Amino acid sequence: MTVKPIQIAVAEDNPLDVAALREVLDQVGLEYTLTVAIDGEEARDFILKKGRYRGYPPAEVIFLDMNMPKLTGMEVLRQIPNSAELPVCVLTSSERERRLIEQHFAPRKICYLTKPLDGEHLLECFRSHEQMRSVAERLASS
């Protein structure tokens, strides 16, 4: 059975962190296509399908770093209509940022990932989004 690659977007300005994410995705055995936004403006444009991202397929899960150039992750979320409905996994280690994000997404539970990423936390993030649960379970059982 051929599995369709999962569409993943990551908003991350550090190439080493993007490489680490790719490594974890490969380790868990996920077939994926990764779109990388290197700053907050690119992340916003990708989510809204503006500019060079107009023809891109929507992401099934979005890894959003809170500390990016041009727009922070929180500013990106504030500029996206209905952003609390997006399948976002937040990359942050700041307690203050977590509180702001929880207020934004309330009452929905948000998945946080800290760097460096690992496979178990990645699958936990997938499980927190309805459309990704079956992917997480398939990967966990393989």
Tokens 């992917």 locate to 135
Whole-prediction pTM: 0.85
**For the residues 12-33, what does the mean pLDDT come to?**
91
Domain limits, the chain:
6-137
Q: Which of 21-35, 74-88, 108-122 has the lowest mean pLDDT?
A: 108-122
How far, in Å, CA of 8 to CA of 14, rounded? 17
Dihedral sign for Cα 61, 75, 14, 106, please: negative
- For 11-29, what is the mean pLDDT? 91
pLDDT digits over 37-65, tens only? 999 999 999 999 999 999 999 999 999 99
At residue 3, the pLDDT reads 67
Contact 92, 101 (CB under 8 A): yes
Q: Which residues pair with 64 in a beta bridge?
A: 11, 90
Q: Tell me the C-alpha distance between 117 and 91, whole Å.
A: 9
The CATH superfamily assigned to 6-137 is: Response regulator (3.40.50.2300)
Q: Say which residues have a Cβ less than 8 Å from residue 111's Cβ, sequence separation at least 6.
A: 88, 89, 90, 124, 125, 128, 129
Q: How confident is the model at residue 139 (pLDDT cuts 50, 70, 90)?
A: confident
Confidence band, pLDDT 50/70/90 cuts, at residue 77:
confident
User: What is the DSSP-derived secondary structure letter of residue 22?
Assistant: H
